[in-house]
Each structure stands twice: as structure tokens, then as C-alpha cells.
Structure 1
Amino acid sequence: MSVFDDPGLFGRLWAATYDGPGNPDPAPAVDFLAPLADGGPVLELAVGTGRVALPLAARGLTVEGVEASPEMVAQLRAKPGGEHMPVTIGDMADVPVAGPYRLVFLVFNTLFNLVDAERQAACFRNVARVLTPGGAFVVETYVPDPADFDRDEQVQVREVTEDSATIRLHRYDRAAQTFVRQTVTFDADGVHLRPFAMRYAWPEQIDEMAERAGLRLAERYADWDRTPFDADSRAHISVYRNR
């Protein structure tokens, strides 16, 4: 059994630093999502620390979350408004809530955290189950670029100080469309490992999963500002509608 079969692994390893510098501003996402909510209620899969869900709820919408990591939820609870947000602890692929919801969203490449193609497909099927007729499922991911993984392994130096050194290593399986990443820190206390994995997919493959689940692609943009999506876009915001 792989450690990546544990849906709470990411949060357990990264919750304490997840809201550190470098995260994108959630405001454009909130501005995009709020009108699609159509009054709500709204569900965020992998709600994490609530960086999008909490400002969306501040717009007056009823927002709920699914999150596999209690550590992430603890960070959410510590924020203003977080103590009142309903969050179900569970695997986002199972969508372990009843609904129905006018809007479900899954942002910041998190679909790819499901490292098995069938689990990704199950996520779409279960979202369709809890969406109202005509309800929206919004997915944000990067568009894979083969130039980013033109070799089987990659090594990056992340940080070097007088007290520690951190390197990041990737190993790619291009046939399976997966990679394993290991962030390794060496310091006076020893060696610290933070593993991570993804199964990436191209937009047309995500569309196929949606179609098989009974969802249709309604809109696609290159970013939250609704920049038109084209062959050079490095990311996509896709809006799928329940039939």
C-alpha cells in the first residue's frame, strides 16, 4: 500500500506552512465563483485552510467543505469565520456529503492530488451526484507541458542556510502521467522527508471524465479573470454543468 493512498497525507505534512508566502491571491477566484453559486449552497472539495471558502462565505453564501486532513481544518478553524463553517473529514474523491449544491469547486491543481485515474473519475461521478440540475462544477488545474518533465528525474536546490539545506527531487512516469516528489531537508535534527505525488491530465482528458459522469463543459478560461483559453495557455479554469 502506497503512502499516497492516504488522502490526509498532504495536509498532515504541509498544513503548518500552507498559508505561507507564495500562495495566489484568492480574490480573483472568489469574484469568479460567487456569481456561479446562484445563491448557493456551495461545496469546496479539499477546502484546506479555507483560503477561498472563507472569503466566499463572507459574501453571504452558505459554504461547506470536504477535507481529508484534520490538521488543515484546524488552520481553517483558527481564522475569522472558520469556526462556523461545516467541514466533513473525508476523501474528496468520495464527496462524502449529501447535497444538493448549486456550485462545487476544486481549485489549485488539487484534482491531480488524486494519483489514480479511477479516483479522479470517481470524484467527477460523485460531484454529479450532489449537484443540482444545471449546477456548476469548477476545476482549476495547470496544463501539463512535456518540456517540464523531459527527463525521468529532476533535482532542485530549494534552500541552503548555515543551519540546513533543502532539496527537491522528482521522478516522472510519463506513461502513467504521474510523478513522485520528495522534499528533503537536512538539519541538526536529522533528515526530514515530505513526499508528494500527482497524476496530471490534459484538459481534454478531464473533459472526458466529466462527460462520462454526466457533466458537460460550459466554459473554459486561462485564468480567473476570464482570459480566453488557447493553445498557449498554461492553466485552465473549466466550468462543467450538470445535465
Structure 2
Amino acid sequence: MKNILQSLDKEKAKGEMAYAGISAYYERWCSGDPFYEQTKEFYMRVLPTKEGPFLELGIGTGRLARLLIQHQAVEVTGIDVCKEMLAICKTKYEQQKEAGCLGRLFLEQGDMTNLQYFEQFGTIYLPFRTVGHLLTDKHLEAMFQGVYRALKPGGIFLLDHYMFDREWAIQNNNKDLLMYSDNSTRIEDHYNYHFEKGYMDCAIKVNGVVVDQFQFRWCSKDCIGNAAKKVGFSLEVLMGEFDGSAWNEQSGNQIWVWRK
């Protein structure tokens, strides 16, 4: 039992350290993702049509939540395991409050696989492929169970993830990929794919120095869909792109909306 507890503690500590090194560069780093703007436009189009209060899982620096409360008189709770990311989010929110915004933001350090809420939220969302940080089916199921408990009856859960492109992964395996560059800062990703195990090691370099590294899992459509169904969610819609088009075999993304 002691060894098991030590293993869990190490896993928790490792999770809390992820993104600590890249936190100061996070917005610039993310801007290199081809779906960076599309995800923002999608959630800002969809979330205002949903009922609050809202819960954002993996809020990071608060890119989406802060934009939502700027224009909507809603309450958003954001959780993240990384205290460095939350500190940046808090600072940005305090500046935002001083300048004036319509909604309110509450921040908590926590793990999305161990949610402690009960029928508190009208809408929960897990954006920008963050589900890939749940490396096992047990972690995925624990997240879905917590979300289901946290939603009010009839509440909505939104989640997006990519469809794994094996050909692209093979072509870019063990290569430095440029994410951002200006006169003083160059940010690159380096992926080492474990194709047989379904995850990759990701290292993030700033000016050639590794500042952060973590593992990331690509979740299949069936894996996510089955986990949601198992806890009792009813599927509202499955989209394949951020323009709202329906999912098909050629889709690059899987964008889910479930109802409790």
C-alpha cells in the first residue's frame, strides 16, 4: 500500500509541475497551434448560448474564461493543477476587474480527475485538447464521473480533441517544430511518439533550452464516446470542425456536446 501511495503522490506532483516551465511563454507558445484562433472563436460563439454557472477544466492562463466574463455577466470557476499558470490567470483577471468586466472568475488549484462539486454548474467545458493529459482510461473515466456529478440536471459538457493523424506524426517524429518566433524568443516543440502505446513525450524548448516536458495521449473517438456513455451522458452533437460541421471520417477534430 505504501508503494502505491508513493506512486500516486509522484504522479500528482508530476502533473502539478507540467506547464510550470512554459507558463510565462504560454500564450505565445499556443499561438503556434493551427487551431488556436478557431477554438477561441468556437467557444465564444457557443458558451454565451449555454446556462451558467460555468466550470472550465484546465483553465491555464484563462484565455477563454477571461474573454467570456469580459462580455457576459456570468460566473466562471476555473481549475488547473499548475499553480504558476493560475498565478498568471489571477494577475490578468485582477487587471481585467480594475478596467471593468461584466462577469466574475473564481480560481482553484485542483485535478480534473478529482472534482469535488455536486450539481453546481450549468455548463462545464474542457477546451483545446486538454483531455490528452489524461493518460489512462481510468483517469478519463474519473474525469467524466466528476463532471457528471458537478453538473446540474440537464447541464451541458463540451470537450474538444483532435483526430490522430498517424502520417503527420510519423513525418514529424523526433523533430523540432517551430511554434513561435520573434526578435528575442524562439519556441519549439519536440515530439517523441510511442505509437504502440498511444502517447507521446513532448518537450518544449525556448531559445534551444528545454523548459518543460510532459506526456500527452491521443484519445480515439470511441474511447471518449464510450467513457461519456458509461457515466450516463446523452450525446447532443458531435462536430468534426470548429465551424460546427458534423463529424465524418475525414474530420480533423472531435468536438463533443453532451447533456446530463
Q: Give the TM-score normalised by the residue count of structure 1.
A: 0.85
Q: Which residue of 1 is the match for residue 24 of structure 2?
A: 16
CA distance 1:96–1:72, shift in 2 (3 Å): farther
**1:88 counterpart (89, 96, 108):** 108
**2:46 counterpart (8, 25, 32):** 32
Residues 1:173 and 2:194 are matched in the alignment:
yes
How far did 1:170 drift?
2.4
**Sequence identity percentage:** 22
Q: Which residue of 1 is the match for residue 125 of structure 2?
A: 105
Residues 1:203 and 2:221 are matched in the alignment:
yes
Q: Which residue of 2 is the match for residue 134 of structure 1?
A: 154
Instruction: Give me the whole-angstrom Cα distance separating, in 1, the residues matched to 2:41 and 2:97.
Output: 17
Q: Give the TM-score normalised by the residue count of structure 2.
A: 0.80
**1:56 counterpart (63, 68, 93):** 68
Instruction: Give me the whole-angstrom Cα distance separating, in 2, the residues matched to 1:203 and 1:241.
Output: 17
Kept after mapping to 1: 8 A contact 2:53/2:123: yes
- Paired residues in the alignment total 237
Q: Which residue of 2 is the match for residue 66 of structure 1?
A: 79
CA distance 1:81–1:119, shift in 2 (3 Å): farther
Instruction: Give me the whole-angstrom Cα distance separating, in 2, the residues matched to 1:173 and 1:236.
Output: 22
The root-mean-square deviation of aligned C-alpha atoms, in Å, is 3.0
| Structure 1 counterpart SS, 2:63 | coil
Moved more, 121-130 or 71-80: 71-80
Aligned letter for 1:53?
A
Q: Which residue of 1 is the match for residue 175 of structure 2?
A: 155
Higher helix share: 2
Aligned letter for 1:41?
P
1:78-121 CA-to-partner distances (Å, cap 9, x unmatched) read 22149952111111221244451110000000000122221111
How far did 1:166 drift?
7.0
5+ long unaligned stretches in structure 1: none
Q: Which residue of 1 is the match for residue 3 of structure 2?
A: none
Moved more, 1-10 or 41-50: 1-10
1:144-185 CA-to-partner distances (Å, cap 9, x unmatched) read 122133379522254899999876432222232111122345
Instruction: Give me the whole-angstrom Cα distance separating, in 2, the residues matched to 1:122 and 1:221.
Output: 24
Q: Which residue of 2 is the match for residue 47 of structure 1?
A: 59
Kept after mapping to 2: 8 A contact 1:90/1:96: no
Moved more, 59-68 or 8-17: 8-17
Instruction: Give me the whole-angstrom Cα distance separating, in 1, the residues matched to 2:189 and 2:182.
Output: 15
Instruction: Give me the whole-angstrom Cα distance separating, in 1, the residues matched to 2:24 and 2:185.
Output: 19
CA distance 1:175–1:216, shift in 2 (3 Å): farther
Residues 1:220 and 2:229 are matched in the alignment:
no
| Structure 1 counterpart SS, 2:147 | helix
Instruction: Give me the whole-angstrom Cα distance separating, in 2, the residues matched to 1:33 and 1:114.
Output: 24
Instruction: Give me the whole-angstrom Cα distance separating, in 1, the residues matched to 2:129 and 2:41.
Output: 17
Moved more, 158-167 or 43-52: 158-167
Kept after mapping to 1: 8 A contact 2:239/2:255: yes
